Amino acid sequence: MTRSAAYIVIHETEYPPCGVPVSLAHHLLHLIPRELPWQIRESGRITVEPDLARLTEGEDAFGNPVAWLSLDTPHDGLLVRAESRVTVIARELPKDEDSPPWERVRDSFRYRAVARDSEMLDAERYLYASPSAPRSAELAAFAAQVFKPGVPLLAGARALTELIFKTFKYDPDATEVGTSVYEVLKRKRGVCQDFAHLMIAAVRSIGLPARYMSGYLLTDPPPGKPRLIGADASHAWVALWCPEQGWIEYDPTNGIQPDLRHVTLGWGRDFQDVSPLRGVILGGLAQTPEVRVTVMPEAEYLERAAKSKARVSE
């Protein structure tokens, strides 16, 4: 029987009232999970308060669901809420030894005489440097610790995942959104976004395509404690392209390959391509938005909703 897991994902971004109205706001939203062979999006809806916005939905250049939000009416405070129901289906992962030597994959992109099919042409978009994932000799040397001569591509990817997981410390206070991968490499600490950018930059620096995966991770509350609403966060991991196997995913923050606990929003060259919410605001005061994320098994969500309804009716 195929293993699967159904989740409710709620992502809220709020700019609290500050007493100075915003006169104009335009935002780009990546908040609805992507439809995939291993992920079924049962529903996905974005709501905005105040209810004055124009919301246009479509796809970005990478095929991810995207929404464009426009507010041209003065408003003080903004709440963007996305609620989705998704079912994640278990995938059969290829064996490391069934992948070609990593140098052969590198060389296939290096020589222009090699014929490229549509999958390889798509993979080539993720071969070059991007704003948050540069290419350099220093980063290539980091990757070379595990991508030794003749190592199968997927064995190298797994080893690099484990290297980052074992030698870097998760520290939410160590970095900011704009912290470079060189600083992360030097300090050996950061968050999932940093570790994903570092791994992508390292493998691109040795000539291999890698893309940034954006989404969510189901986490477990402490033993005996209830799951806290809004206490989760967005998550990031990595996918490497392998001939005949396609895109294979790795989570260097947790030292694992994504399975049933990872919900995929979308992908791009780096975080900037799939930022959950970004845009421009005219007016108001400088604010850091409050972000609240909840990832919950659907059965648990329905049970909580039923108990809440029962309490109200008493």
pLDDT at 308 over 80: no
103 vs 308, which has greater pLDDT?
103
Tokens 């992508």 belong to which residue? 200
| pLDDT mean across residues, the chain | 92
pLDDT of residue 185: 97
Confirm if 61 and 71 have CB atoms less than 8 A apart. Answer: no
Tell me the mean pLDDT in the region 122-136: 96
DSSP category for residue 145: T
pLDDT band at 306 (very low <50, low <70, confident <90, very high): confident
Nearby residues of 258 by Cβ (< 8 Å), 6 or more positions away: 213, 237, 249, 250, 251
Q: Which residue has the higher pLDDT, 18 or 116?
A: 18
**pLDDT classification of 309: cutoffs 50, 70, 90:** confident
Kindly list the distances between the CA atom of residue 237 and the CA atoms of 108, 270, 271, 284, in Å, as whole numbers in the listed order. 25, 10, 10, 34
What is this structure's pTM? 0.94
pLDDT of the residue at 227: 78
